Structure 1
Amino acid sequence: MTKLCEYALTAEAAEILGVSQNTIRTWAKDGKIPVHRNPANGYRLFKRRDLDQFLKRIERSAKKPGK
């Protein structure tokens, strides 16, 4: 069974990534960040590992020459 603490709700995911909650929702809808839904209430859930990987991808792309 997966622990709930492995997931972040929209507000916390936005805080982790330093963007608004609407940006997180848009990125999830566009497939930029994997999103899961709580089957009981439909809330968006983001795996912390996915958020960390997303940040690393952004950091790598920012370090590329010409950016």
Structure 2
Amino acid sequence: MKHTQIINEIDQLIENYCEGCLVKSELRKEKGKTKAHQFCIKGCTVGEEIKEAGNKLFGK
């Protein structure tokens, strides 16, 4: 898969699922930006998909 295709895949995931995410916004209000970001990376299924796609970019 080409890098541009992977980046487009990541952009689509973020656009469709992350922008306006209620879980992220509530966590951000209650526990802060860092905790919300940690949830997105480790606890969210969409975050996991984004992480996997990012790993493809770097050959991991």
**TM-score by shorter chain over 0.5:** no
TM-score when normalising by structure 2? 0.27
If asked which structure has higher relative contact order (CA below 8 Å, sep 6+), I would say 2
TM-score (norm. length: structure 1): 0.25
Report the structure, 1 or 2, having the larger helix content: 2
